């Protein structure tokens, strides 16, 4: 009986391992790793300060000495982009992962237990999802004030409802499977069934959700900083680097917008593509193609 209970998860894992990794996955993973290393290690090996000003070189175009040019105060835009990338990652990644974990756990409980617990969870999710995620995060930051912990909490709260819905749908489907019925017949507790049998067989949707949430978290953090609710100047962030540059200096110094915008766009695009590829890996409809 134990082998029958574990069969779906084992089959899913073996199916994923047997599939060939497409070249686009290697490119996306390499890009994300390089950007993460640039954000983590770049500021440590870069001798320039992100806040040092030099009026003599203000609004200088990209060159060998200043690859991204300089801003309106003569600050090195490449150095500020490295520090801003690290700041964005240190806020968006924990926020996105925390939101995914909390949302998945709540969705797991609601989808398995159902009844009044599920009803209350879904009504709360509907209230939050009726408001755009950036607005939800803005309200949290406005109430709690700016700060890294507050920003992480705001990002996590804005992304939690998506995790609840995704995990609830997966838990509803898995909890009705025969191996869950077999576990109930053997006298397993509700928590054991949820954590031992339902949750492992829902890891596919959770992996896809985590990747997409990381991209959404970067968007939320950048948006908060752009609106002045995130990282406060003179500390650099990819969002506050765009504040003012788009309207005041875009015609004179377009690199102020282009380079930070490209970094944000590339990160979000990579996480979204990674999520699509994970969805393909865990799609049961591809089983026949794998066995062929």
What is the secondary structure of 32-65 as a DSSP string? HHHHHHHHHHHHHH--S-TT---GGGTTPPP-SS
Greater model confidence, 23 or 154: 154
pLDDT band of residue 20 (cuts 50, 70, 90) is: low
pLDDT at 288: 46
Query: Looking at residue 111, what is its pLDDT?
Result: 86
105 SS3 class? helix
Please tell me the predicted confidence (pLDDT) of residue 244: 63
Give residues with Cβ within 8 angstroms of 16, minimum separation 6: 281, 282
* Tokens matching residue 90: 């240190």
Backbone angles phi, psi at 199, to 5 degrees: -60, -50
Highest mean pLDDT among 11-20, 75-84, 126-135, 244-253: 75-84
Whether residue 35 has pLDDT greater than 70: yes
Average pLDDT along the chain? 82
- Smallest CA-to-CA distance from 81 within 241, 228, 217 is with 241
Indicate the pTM of the whole model.
Answer: 0.82
**Residue 70 backbone phi and psi in degrees, to 5:** -125, 160
Residue 7 has pLDDT above 80, yes or no: no
Give domain 2-48+64-291's CATH superfamily. Answer: MetI-like (1.10.3720.10)
Task: Give tens-digit pLDDT for 175-194.
Answer: 878 888 888 888 888 788 88
């Amino acid at each position: 009986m134990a082998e029958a209970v574990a069969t779906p998860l084992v089959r899913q894992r073996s199916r994923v391992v047997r599939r060939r990794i497409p070249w686009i996955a290697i490119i996306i993973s390499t890009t994300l790793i390089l950007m993460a290393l640039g954000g983590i290690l770049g500021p440590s090996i870069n001798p320039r300060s992100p806040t040092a000003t030099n009026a003599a070189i203000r609004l200088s175009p990209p060159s060998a000495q200043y690859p991204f040019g300089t801003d309106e105060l003569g600050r090195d835009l490449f150095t500020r982009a490295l520090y801003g990338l690290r700041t964005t990652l240190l806020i968006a990644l924990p926020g996105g992962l925390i939101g995914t974990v909390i949302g998945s756990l709540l969705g797991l409980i609601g989808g398995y237990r159902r009844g009044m617990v599920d009803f209350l969870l879904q009504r709360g999710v509907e209230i939050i999802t009726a408001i755009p995620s950036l607005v939800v995060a803005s309200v949290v930051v406005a109430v709690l004030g700016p700060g890294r912990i507050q920003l992480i909490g705001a990002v996590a709260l804005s992304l939690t409802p998506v995790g609840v819905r995704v995990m609830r749908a997966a838990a509803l489907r898995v909890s009705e499977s025969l191996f869950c019925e077999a576990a109930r017949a053997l006298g397993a507790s509700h928590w054991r069934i949820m954590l031992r049998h339902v949750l492992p067989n829902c890891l596919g949707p959770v992996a896809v959700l985590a990747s997409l949430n990381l991209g959404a978290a970067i968007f939320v953090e950048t948006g908060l900083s752009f609106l002045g609710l995130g990282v406060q100047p003179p500390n650099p962030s990819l969002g506050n680097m765009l504040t003012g540059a788009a309207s005041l200096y875009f015609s004179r110094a377009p690199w102020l917008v282009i380079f930070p915008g490209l970094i944000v766009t590339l990160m979000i695009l990579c996480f979204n593509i990674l999520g699509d590829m994970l969805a393909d890996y865990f799609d049961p409809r591809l089983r026949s193609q794998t066995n062929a």
